[in-house]
Amino acid sequence: MWSRLGTGNAGAGVAALGFALGGVVVDRGALAPLTAALDEVGAAGGRASALPSLLGLPAWAVVGLGLAGIGLALSRLPAIGPARGHWRWPVTGLALGLVGVLAWVGGSLSGWRWGLSITGPSRSLAEGLLLAGADLGGWGPAMLLGIPLGSWLSARLRGPVGWRAPAASELPRRFLGGLLMGAGGTIAAGCNIGNALTGLSVLSTQSLVAVVGMVAGTAAAIRALDGEDRRAA
């Protein structure tokens, strides 16, 4: 959402707004007690919050098993060529990995105790703008604002960048989708970036559970939408 906003996608901007507000509602609104209760359950897990401790294996063994599982999954996926003008997936994956490492290093130098994350910074940015006394500063919100700027610079190198807006009837759907993602990401203590890209890199059990839930939910949604398309045809 934030990266597409930088390329002029107004619908992504609406979704990003909903995403930030959804996080605020869960963090400060009616669902805040649920979030606090889930945090207490997570804290009670203690050592089980790390995969090596949960499995009784050294960290290197867990990493090896994870890499083997990823390799098996990739080998079973159909080969898809890159779109014209785009990187191949191995190059993209290596670039994302490098960005993830640099985020840990850069964030730690400024006191940020986590790597790449979108949900928390989005929520912090919205709270800083909407709530008196909320902290607007910090590495996370600054990184978040840098995403649309970087995507705009990247898009601008290819040519002019103009605003593109979806049909007005689509805007409520985009906002609601962003709202649900922000609420879900806050309850899960991270979105796909915070849990999949960052949390799994530190072998977090919570992140593994969250990622499995994301994959299962996405698969169910795709099947449901495909079914609607077939019925409509």
Question: Where do the H-state alpha helices sit in the chain?
Answer: 2-6, 10-28, 32-44, 51-55, 59-76, 89-109, 119-130, 139-158, 171-187, 205-232
Answer whether residue 149 shows pLDDT above 90.
yes
Q: What is the mean pLDDT of residues 65-71?
A: 90
Q: Residue 229 — very low, low, confident or very high, per pLDDT cuts 50/70/90?
A: low
Residues making up the chain, counted from first to last? 233
pLDDT tens digits, one per residue of 74-106: 888 777 766 677 788 888 888 988 998 999 988
Query: 77: phi > 0 → left, psi -120 to 50 → alpha, else beta; which?
Result: beta
- Least Cα distance to 192 among 210, 218, 205 occurs for 210
Alpha-carbon distance of 92 to 99, in angstroms, equals: 11
pTM equals 0.82
Q: Residue 46 — very low, low, confident or very high, per pLDDT cuts 50/70/90?
A: low
- At 158 the pLDDT is 83
- Least Cα distance to 6 among 182, 146, 129 occurs for 146
Per the CB < 8 A criterion, the answer to whether 55 and 65 are in contact is no
Answer whether residue 29 shows pLDDT above 60.
yes
Answer whether residue 49 shows pLDDT above 80.
no
Per the CB < 8 A criterion, the answer to whether 181 and 191 are in contact is yes
What is the residue-averaged pLDDT of the chain? 85
Where is mean pLDDT largest: 3-7, 130-134, 156-160? 3-7
Across-strand partners of 50?
204
For residue 88, the Cα-to-chain-centroid distance in whole angstroms is 21
Q: Which of 33-42, 97-106, 178-187, 204-213 has the lowest mean pLDDT?
A: 33-42
- For the chain, percent of residues with pLDDT exceeding 90: 28
- For the chain, percent of residues with pLDDT exceeding 70: 91
Q: Residue 151 — very low, low, confident or very high, per pLDDT cuts 50/70/90?
A: very high
Answer whether residue 23 shows pLDDT above 70.
yes
Answer whether residue 134 shows pLDDT above 70.
no
pLDDT tens digits, one per residue of 107-119: 888 888 888 889 9
Q: What is the mean pLDDT of residues 131-160?
A: 83
